């Protein structure tokens, strides 16, 4: 018996997903592929959201032969490019009647320093920001599909570091492990915060640690580390084993009361103190969208109510320009912020969900314009 078997909770379920639609990012390899395989066996319609279409087709063929489920759809999604994310979401919103489960699985780990197409540090951009944008763009459809679930694949690496709020984009210094840990900490904070916002909507949100898994995630590591991982594979999980907690969060009945929770080995688990810090979650979003130190780019959609706090009583008066604030090319109708929204808890606003879009005027002496779109 391997050490991983001793350490992992054994879990199995006959839960069916017939008639359900599931989106899995990074479904062409690793635990994403095994998650797709399992949910296909349960009868779900699987949308494989992948960057590499050739590998996605190979994975689809493999899963089809194994499960007999022909309801496997491949869609192009590059989480390092907001244009690709928007194109994917636009297609889903137009073509799909429902999305019952969104699994934010894709990720990269401890890669050399590089930036996304929009100027973000690659690990933060792909692991966190890309999935944040994708989730919000699909959120209305997910809410209409309730009961529904959003599953965020994080990592125990979220305990490795805190958030470098003064250098989220790792412009001043770059440590591969800390940058990876920071992206995963942001994931856990996002899942926790989103769950609070979605209370009473029928949408549950979970984050998880899949375990130390033998997968392609190690490809950026020094060869010595890759060899060590293989030598000590008795202490690691296969991709099938690594997918189990994701599957658990996606299908296990009666988890709604644990929405916002963090899971490991198919059970609730303790996350770091930082990952439980609601104030830190607010600071993260404020830094991403309201600071002048971030690159000329945007994520584009964040909730107004994130900023309706004691320290930011009126977001429209803030003229900072951060990750999401500096380039918004989308035209939406301008709305005055409801006066009685100010001072409410930043996750609760009885006027519904107000999306925040900030447009920077090209003229340097003109102030930024805030655009508000009520999507409730």
CA dihedral (373, 374, 375, 376) in degrees, to 10, reads 180
Residues 337 and 272 both lie in one domain: no
Q: CB–CB of 160/209 below 8 Å?
A: no
Residues 335 and 211 both lie in one domain: no
User: Of 276, 304, 321, which residue is a domain's last?
Assistant: 276
* pLDDT digits 0-9 by tens, 104-149: 999 998 788 999 998 999 999 999 999 999 999 999 999 999 999 9
pLDDT at residue 66 in the model: 98
Domain extent for 304: 278-374
For residues 229 and 216, give the distance between their C-alpha atoms in angstroms, rounded to a whole number: 12
pLDDT band at 205 (very low <50, low <70, confident <90, very high): very high
Catalytic choice (180, 262, 298, 323): 180
pLDDT at residue 284 in the model: 84
Residue 262 appears among annotated catalytic residues: no
CATH number of the domain residue 175 falls in:
3.40.50.720
Please tell me which residue, 177 or 318, carries the higher pLDDT value.
177
The number of helices, as runs of H, and strands, as runs of E, in the chain is 11, 11
Cα–Cα distances in angstroms (integers) from residue 87 to residues 23, 75, 134, 251, in the given order: 15, 10, 10, 28
DSSP string, 52-101: -HHHHHHHHHHHHHHH----EEEEE--TT-HHHHHHHHHHHHHH-S---E
Other CB atoms closer than 10 Å to residue 19's CB: what's the count?
A: 10
* pLDDT digits 0-9 by tens, 230-247: 555 556 789 999 999 999
Residues 271 and 309 both lie in one domain: no
pLDDT band at 376 (very low <50, low <70, confident <90, very high): very low
For residues 58 and 64, give the distance between their C-alpha atoms in angstroms, rounded to a whole number: 10
Residues 217 and 329 both lie in one domain: no
List CB contacts of 336: < 8 A, sequence separation 6 or more. Answer: 372
Residues 149 and 39 both lie in one domain: yes
pLDDT at residue 293 in the model: 46
Give long-range contacts, CB 8 A cutoff, 24+ apart: 312-315. Answer: 312/286, 313/342, 313/343, 314/342, 315/356, 315/370
Count of the separate structural domains present in the chain = 2
Other CB atoms closer than 10 Å to residue 18's CB: what's the count?
A: 9
Per DSSP, the three-state class of 222 is coil
Residues 106 and 216 both lie in one domain: yes
* pLDDT digits 0-9 by tens, 325-358: 443 333 333 333 334 333 332 332 323 333 333 3
């Amino acid at each position: 018996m391997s050490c991983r078997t001793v350490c992992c909770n054994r879990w199995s379920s006959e839960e069916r997903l017939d008639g359900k639609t599931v989106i899995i990012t990074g479904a062409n390899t690793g635990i994403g592929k095994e998650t797709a395989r399992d949910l296909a066996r349960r009868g779900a319609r699987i949308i494989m959201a992948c960057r590499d279409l050739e590998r996605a087709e190979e994975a689809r063929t493999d899963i089809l032969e194994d499960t007999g489920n022909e309801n496997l759809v491949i869609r192009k999604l590059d989480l390092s490019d907001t244009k690709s994310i928007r194109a994917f979401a636009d297609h889903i919103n137009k073509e799909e009647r429902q999305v019952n489960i969104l699994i934010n699985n894709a990720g990269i780990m401890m890669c050399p320093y590089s930036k996304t197409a929009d100027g973000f540090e690659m690990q933060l951009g792909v692991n966190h920001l890309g999935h944040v944008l994708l989730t919000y763009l699909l959120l209305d459809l997910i809410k209409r599909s309730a009961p529904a679930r959003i599953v965020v694949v994080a990592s125990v690496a979220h305990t490795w570091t805190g958030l470098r709020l003064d250098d989220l984009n790792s412009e001043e210094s770059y440590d591969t492990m800390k940058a990876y840990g920071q992206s995963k900490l942001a994931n856990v904070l996002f899942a926790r915060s989103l769950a609070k916002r979605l209370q009473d909507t029928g949408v549950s949100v979970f984050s998880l640690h899949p375990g130390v898994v033998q997968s392609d995630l190690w490809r950026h590591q020094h060869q010595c580390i890759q060899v060590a991982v293989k030598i000590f594979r008795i202490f690691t999980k296969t991709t099938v084993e690594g997918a189990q907690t994701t599957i658990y969060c996606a299908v296990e009945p009666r988890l709604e009361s644990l929405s916002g929770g963090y899971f490991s080995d198919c059970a609730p688990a303790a996350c770091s103190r930082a990952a439980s810090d609601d104030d830190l979650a607010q600071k993260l979003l404020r830094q991403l969208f309201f600071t002048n130190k971030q690159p000329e780019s945007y994520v584009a959609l964040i909730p107004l109510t994130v900023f309706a706090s004691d320290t930011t009583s009126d977001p429209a008066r803030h003229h900072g320009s951060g990750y999401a604030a500096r380039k918004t090319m989308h035209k939406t109708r301008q709305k005055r912020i409801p006066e009685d929204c100010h001072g409410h808890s930043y996750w609760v606003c009885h006027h519904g969900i107000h999306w925040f879009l900030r447009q920077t005027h090209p003229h340097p002496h003109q102030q930024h314009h805030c655009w508000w779109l009520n999507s409730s």
